[in-house]
Chain A
Amino acid sequence: MTAPAKGAPEKSTVPGKAVKKSSRAMRNNLTAYSFIAPNFIGFCVFTLVPMVFAIGLAFCNWDGVHDIEFIGFKNFIDLMSDATFKTSFVNTIVYCLGTVPLTLVCSLGLALLLNQNVKLRNFFRTVSFFPYVASLVAVAAVWNMIFSPSMGPVNMLLSALGVENLPRWAAGKETAMITVILFSVWKNMGYYMVIYLAGLQGTNPSLVEAAELDGANKWHVFWHVTLPQLRPTTFFVTITLTIASFKVYDQMFMITQGGPGNATITLVYDIYNIAFVNTPKYGYASAVAMVLFAMVLAITLIQFGSSSNND
């Protein structure tokens, strides 16, 4: 599907030489294609084709049994008046606004601490990475038990400290989203901390020394010297976190099941429900998927735009 156009300059002035040269070039091309083929064919069939299919499907009505029917923008018009979709859209944004700054601050803070001359640095780094590589199902199961409203050790501790009106965590309408956000921060901050550590390695220590000689205190040094140097890293972390938060699903599925009510349902959760739980409406699910795609694309374009500006 990506057959390259024949280049005109190949036909050079000396015919005999050109034939020999182009047959060698041809052989070289074939060798190169044979290197790429195993990955590219799989990538085309299982990624590119479904992607194109997804765009088309968003404009169709299909239940998987009857014929596909083209219905234009009807799916998107229906989305406007779909309360579940609206809730899942708003929830996704709320989750994003909660996780992105919190994860950013926590991972930067941890990276700054570990960037000091501390002993057991590798140990601390390894431990904060544990939650990130651990199976989500397993750690979500523990999280659910530890934050169990009636029996969990967290609420036991709070009540022992004399707190009344114990939070209902994942079971409470107001606290469910906060619980998921806290879980996500805990699980992912180690990953972004490593990115920040790498960013800190790239900063210029002599600037910090100069500022300290000028009598700036630690806070000033951080705010006016270190943080500006970390701007590219912060930008990258923000973009990555934002995109990841748009795609959130697993955490909700395992901690709150999207509830209580629809308090923690997200866009991907909505897609999953429409396509695989309720009577399937594949076209409609794809329309929701296109909204998700548009959101991710917008963030990616911001990233591309800024990186080409910086160059």
Chain B
Amino acid sequence: MKNSSQKRNHIVTMTVIYVVLIIITALMLIPFLWMLSASLKMNKDVFSFPIQWIPDNPRWKNYVDIWTKIPLLTFVKNSTKLTIIVTLLQLFTSSFAAYAFAKMNFKGKNLLFLGYIATIAVPWQAYMVPQFMMLRAWNLNNTHLAIICLQAFSAFGVFLMKQFYEGVPSELCEAARIDGLTEYGIWFRVMLPLSKPALSTLTIFTFVSTWNDFLGPLIYLTKNEVKTIQIGLRMFISQYSAEYGLIMAASVIALIPVLVIFLALQKYFVQGVAATGIKG
């Protein structure tokens, strides 16, 4: 008797949970579905109500026209180039520095590390102006090098990798030293292969933040030929605010690379987020 009422209670609870979850999921997804749907419509049909989710005559032409309406290919190329270079540099310099901080003893270690820690509290927005003045004085505005310099040397990457390396038993390094490996050899042959999960986490974080970065490129990149996809898309939106179909098509294109990387590496993303949370 009691058992069956408990069972019924359980079913009611689970039903409520699923209904709420489905509503939240719908709220999360609807803007993306609406974007996709609008990207295949004529401008005049975008706002027709009730919403026609699947257009009768999908206007694939939007996805052709957008490449000629703005130099979208240039923007995509620029973003791809910057994202790849920044991610590779970030992976290399962070894991390299983190190895010394985690597995070597040397003079000034704590002082140098304090230098990184002290800057956590300083938001980039607080020093973006002098940074821009400095790089402009070196004639780096409107160059990709400026964005690379801004993004490639973060304290975050060093922390993330250091935390992971500290979890690797030091005996492994000692054994490798006895076998005659240099420190560089240990980093390359022992640590790097072991740190694939941490490297993946850092890759996805850096990839997503560089691809989506807005304020940095907005300040530095004012010429069309160096603009990234985000800045280019924003420029298009402000110039052709009524070209709804085309704006949505360009938005879909701007989203795809990050969604692909996210779906491929999401396990590491979730682990990374969770790790920062627990550590804090």
Contact = CB atoms under 8 A, between A and B. Distances in A.
Nearest to A196: B277
Interface string A224-251: 0000000001001101100100110110
Given A50-B134, A118-B17, A142 B104 contact: no
Main secondary structure of the interface of A (DSSP, over half): helix
Contacts of A64: 133
A145 B100 contact: no
A271 B125 CA distance: 8
Interface stretch (B56-64, B66-74, B147-155): B147-155
Nearest to A30: B106
A198 B277 contact: yes
**Of listed B51, B130, B131, B152, residue having the most chain A CB within 10 A:** B130
B196 interface: no
Nearest to B27: A186
Contacts of A43: 115-116, 153-155
A81 interface: no
Main secondary structure of the interface of B (DSSP, over half): helix
Given A118-B21, A130-B29, A296-B123, A137 B101 contact: no
B1 interface: no
A38 B46 CA distance: 51
Interface residues of B, number: 96
A104 interface: no
A175 to B, nearest CB: 18
**Of listed B14, B20, B47, residue having the most chain A CB within 10 A:** B47
Interface in B10-24: 14, 17-18, 20-21, 24
Interface string B249-280: 00110110011001100100110011111101
A51 B119 contact: yes
A57 B129 contact: yes
A136 B258 contact: no
Nearest to B150: A46
B111 to A, nearest CB: 6
B270 A139 contact: no
A7 interface: yes
Contact of B237 (A25, A141, A303): A141
B164 interface: no
A195 B276 CA distance: 8
B125 A143 contact: no
B274 A195 contact: yes
Contacts of B109: 32
B104 A293 contact: no
A83 interface: no
Interface in A261-308: 268, 271-272, 275-276, 282, 285-286, 289-290, 292-293, 296-297, 300-301, 303
Contacts of B183: 31-32, 35
Contact of A137 (B122, B153, B251, B252): B251
Given A46-B153, A194-B274, A135 B230 contact: yes
B35 A138 contact: yes
Given A4-B111, A138-B251, A247 B28 contact: no
Given A35-B100, A240-B280, A300 B120 contact: yes
Given A2-B111, A36-B101, A195-B273, A249 B125 contact: yes
Contacts of A114: 21
Given A38-B92, A296-B123, 15 more contacts: A36-B100, A38-B96, A40-B97, A46-B153, A48-B119, A113-B24, A125-B270, A129-B270, A130-B32, A134-B32, A139-B31, A142-B35, A236-B280, A268-B215, A289-B127
Closest 3 CB pairs of A and B: A4-B108, A42-B153, A198-B274
27 contacts: A2-B112, A35-B183, A39-B96, A40-B97, A42-B153, A43-B155, A47-B153, A48-B115, A53-B127, A54-B130, A127-B29, A130-B29, A131-B28, A133-B269, A138-B252, A138-B255, A141-B233, A141-B248, A142-B251, A186-B27, A186-B28, A194-B270, A194-B274, A198-B274, A198-B277, A236-B277, A282-B130
Interface of A: 2-4, 7, 25, 28-29, 31-33, 35-36, 38-40, 42-51, 53-54, 57, 64, 110, 113-114, 116, 118, 124-131, 133-139, 141-143, 145-146, 148, 151-153, 156-157, 160, 186, 190-191, 194-199, 202, 233, 236-237, 239-240, 243, 246-247, 249-250, 253-254, 268, 271-272, 275-276, 282, 285-286, 289-290, 292-293, 296-297, 300-301, 303
